[in-house]
Amino acid sequence: MIEIAFVEHGGARHIVHGTIGRSLMHAAVANDVSGIPADCGGSCACATCHVLVDPEWLALMPEITEAEDTMLEFGLDDRQPNSRLSCQIMLTPELNGLAVQIPASCP
């Protein structure tokens, strides 16, 4: 298990635990984090698990796949340089302490 901080748009911070080998989205859903409905269940088909990765963690993120890039490009009105789909971020021991912000609105 690793610790993850989900920060709501208004600033409220929620520290949750996630299972190594599972996705960041699964950690959010399992811990009832609001703002991450994950409508497609993690199949990279809806962008409702959009998060903004804290800049200090960007270097540890897996490379964006073509499918994720396409979903971010066409599924969001507010894509940022640190936008990622939490369903595409697999948790590793190196991500212990990861901080992500939940955008103001989901698609």
Full domain range(s) for residue 17: 2-101
Question: Residue 22 is which amino acid?
Answer: R
Within-domain flag for 35: yes
Smallest CA-to-CA distance from 5 within 62, 52, 59 is with: 52
Within-domain flag for 48: yes
The pLDDT mean for the chain works out to: 94
CATH value at residue 78: 3.10.20.30
Within-domain flag for 64: yes
- pLDDT tens, 16-50? 999 999 999 999 999 999 999 999 999 999 999 99
Residue 78: pLDDT over 90: no
pLDDT band per the 50, 70, 90 thresholds, residue 105: low
pLDDT of residue 104: 84
Q: Do 25 and 87 touch, CB atoms closer than 8 A?
A: yes
Q: Using CA atoms, how far apart are residues 42 and 56, in angstroms rounded to an integer?
A: 25
Structural domains counted in the chain: 1
Within-domain flag for 107: no
Burial of 51 (0-12, 13-18, 19+ CB in 10 A): buried
Tokens 């698990």, located at residue: 49
User: Tokens representing 26?
Assistant: 């699964």
